Amino acid sequence: MKLASQVYNWMSTTLKGRYFTGIAALILFGGLLSILPLLIFVQEQREDDALMNLNEVLHMQNELIADWQDELTRDINYLSELPEASSDDKLSFYEKLELLGNNRTLFYDLFYADETGSILYNTNDDAATRKISVYDTPYFQQGMEWHTYTTGIRLIGDEDMRSVIFSAPVTNGDGRFGGILAGIVLADSIRYVVSDFAYGETGVVYLVDKSGTVLSSSSKEFPSSMKETDIFQRALKREKQTETYQSANGVESWGQYTWINQDEWVLISEVSAEEIAKPFHDTVLFMSIILLVIFILSYFFTKQLIKQMTRPIGALLEGTSIISKGNYKHRIQDHVFDRTAKEFKELFKAYNKMAEDLEHEQFLRLQAEEDMRRSHEQLRLLSLSDGLTGIGNRRFFDEELAVQLKTAALANQPLSLILIDIDFFKKYNDQYGHDAGDLALKRVACALDDIAASADLSAARYGGEEMAVLVPSSYEDGLHQLGKEIIQAVKELRIAHASSPTGWLSVSIGMASIQPTLSTPARLLIQEADKALYLSKQNGRDQATIFSGI
Confidence of residue 8 (pLDDT cuts 50, 70, 90): low
pLDDT at 398: 92
**Whether pLDDT at 550 is above 50:** no
- CA–CA gap between residue 527 and residue 406 (Å, rounded): 18
Instruction: Select the more confidently predicted residue: 182 or 319.
Output: 182
Instruction: Give tens-digit pLDDT for 397-421.
Output: 999 999 999 999 999 999 999 999 9
pLDDT at 80: 86
Picking from 301, 254, 283, 296, the residue whose alpha carbon sits closest to that of residue 37 is 283
- Cβ neighbour number for residue 186 with a 10 Å cutoff: 16
Percentage of the chain beyond pLDDT 90 is 28
What DSSP assignment string belongs to 83-144? HHHHSS--HHHHHHHHHHHHH-TT-SEEEEE-TTSBEEEES-TT-TTTT-B-TTSHHHHHHH
Judge whether 415 and 405 are in contact, CB under 8 Å.
yes
**Phi/psi of residue 44, each to 5°?**
-65, -40
Confidence of residue 459 (pLDDT cuts 50, 70, 90): very high
Instruction: Give tens-digit pLDDT for 375-396.
Output: 676 666 667 888 899 899 999 9
- Strands (DSSP E) found in 210-277: 214-217, 245-246, 252-260, 265-272
Judge whether 523 and 387 are in contact, CB under 8 Å.
no
First to last CA, the chain: 108
pLDDT at 202: 87
Instruction: Select the more confidently predicted residue: 346 or 267.
Output: 267
- CA–CA gap between residue 85 and residue 91 (Å, rounded): 9
What DSSP assignment string belongs to 291-314? HHHHHHHHHHHHHHHHHHHHHHHH
pLDDT at 42: 62
3-state secondary structure at position 217: strand
Instruction: Select the more confidently predicted residue: 243 or 365.
Output: 243
Instruction: Give tens-digit pLDDT for 316-367.
Output: 667 777 777 777 677 776 666 666 767 776 776 777 777 777 777 877 787 8
Pairing of strands 415-422, 466-471: antiparallel
Confidence of residue 30 (pLDDT cuts 50, 70, 90): low
**Whether pLDDT at 15 is above 60:** no
> Which residues are designated catalytic?
465
**Whether pLDDT at 224 is above 90:** no
Pairing of strands 252-260, 214-217: unpaired
Burial 408-433 (b: 16+ CB within 10 A, else e): bbeeeebbbbbbbbbbbbeebbeebe
Instruction: Select the more confidently predicted residue: 191 or 42.
Output: 191
pLDDT at 261: 82
Confidence of residue 84 (pLDDT cuts 50, 70, 90): confident
Instruction: Select the more confidently predicted residue: 472 or 319.
Output: 472
Confidence of residue 12 (pLDDT cuts 50, 70, 90): low
What DSSP assignment string belongs to 179-199? EEEEEEEEGGGGTT-S-S--S
